[in-house]
């Protein structure tokens, strides 16, 4: 049976149904066709709306991320300015002060078996300098030179060392990792750090400016000639994709 014959047969069948069953059959066929078209339009519109929502959400996420990075930088710098302003009010004397931050990208672990070290994409890196490293406004570690390249040492790394203050009394100490946790060492015996005290950067090392939050004291260890406290840091152990470097504390 060729195609022409099939077409003629279908046409004859349609005419027969129309004549035999009249208006009701045509209404049934027409109604079925309308339902199919309506369903198709509904599906098409829903799909288009979903696609539009996806791209709108993607654009909104990108915009909010960019704004979040700017707000983080502004929040960090405001801490620096506030600290310097307080010092100015106390001493009634101050030199020009212009802290700078730079957003940088982590590009991979330095060693696959050491999650505390990362390579950083950082233009204008000064190999003779140590930089403070921040994530979401908190101290995350330091940046040093390694084989001529900028390397980020996270808080848990033993070579990540910087000065801090503990609690409202601003008890001085040195923050240093031991691979498993973050400690504050060399606290004088007559000082009384307490569990729950907040630890912030002191700004006395030329790495961080004063007042950046590091963590909270979770344990106090009495030693022979000094005290050591264990910190619960604000920055989680996972390595973020983007962080801020302090160019000028």
pTM (2 d.p.): 0.65
Q: pLDDT value at position 13?
A: 58
Give the integer Cα–Cα distance in Å for 80 and 30: 75
Q: pLDDT value at position 110?
A: 79
In contact, 106 and 239? CB cutoff 8 Å = yes
Tokens of 9: 């047969």
Q: pLDDT value at position 32?
A: 45
Strand partners, 198: 216
Give the integer Cα–Cα distance in Å for 6 and 27: 24
Q: pLDDT value at position 144?
A: 95
Give the integer Cα–Cα distance in Å for 171 and 120: 32
What is the Cα Rg of the chain in Å? 33
Q: pLDDT value at position 145?
A: 93
Tokens of 104: 């940088």
Q: Which residues of the chain have pLDDT under 50?
A: 26, 28-34, 36-37
């Amino acid at each position: 049976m060729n195609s022409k014959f099939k077409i003629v047969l279908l046409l004859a069948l349609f005419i027969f149904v129309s004549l035999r069953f009249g208006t009701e059959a045509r209404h049934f066929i027409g109604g079925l066709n309308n339902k199919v078209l309506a369903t198709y339009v509904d599906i098409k519109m829903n799909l288009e709306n979903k696609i539009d929502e996806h791209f709108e959400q993607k654009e909104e996420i990108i915009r909010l991320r960019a704004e979040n990075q700017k707000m983080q930088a502004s929040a960090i710098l405001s801490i620096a300015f506030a600290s310097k302003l307080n010092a100015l009010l106390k001493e009634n004397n101050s030199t020009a002060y212009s802290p700078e931050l730079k957003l940088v990208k982590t590009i991979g672990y330095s060693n696959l078996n050491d999650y505390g070290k990362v390579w950083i994409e950082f233009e204008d890196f000064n190999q003779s300098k140590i930089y403070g490293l921040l994530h979401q406004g908190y101290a995350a570690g330091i940046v040093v030179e390694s084989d001529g390249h900028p390397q980020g040492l996270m808080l848990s790394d033993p070579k990540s060392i910087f000065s801090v203050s503990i609690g409202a009394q601003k008890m001085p100490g040195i923050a240093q990792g031991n691979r498993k946790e973050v400690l504050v060492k060399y606290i004088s015996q007559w000082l009384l750090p307490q569990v729950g005290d907040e630890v912030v950067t002191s700004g006395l090392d030329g790495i961080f400016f004063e007042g950046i939050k590091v963590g909270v004291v979770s344990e106090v260890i009495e030693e022979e000639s000094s005290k050591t406290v264990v910190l619960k840091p604000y920055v989680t152990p996972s390595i973020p994709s983007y962080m801020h470097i302090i160019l000028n504390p």
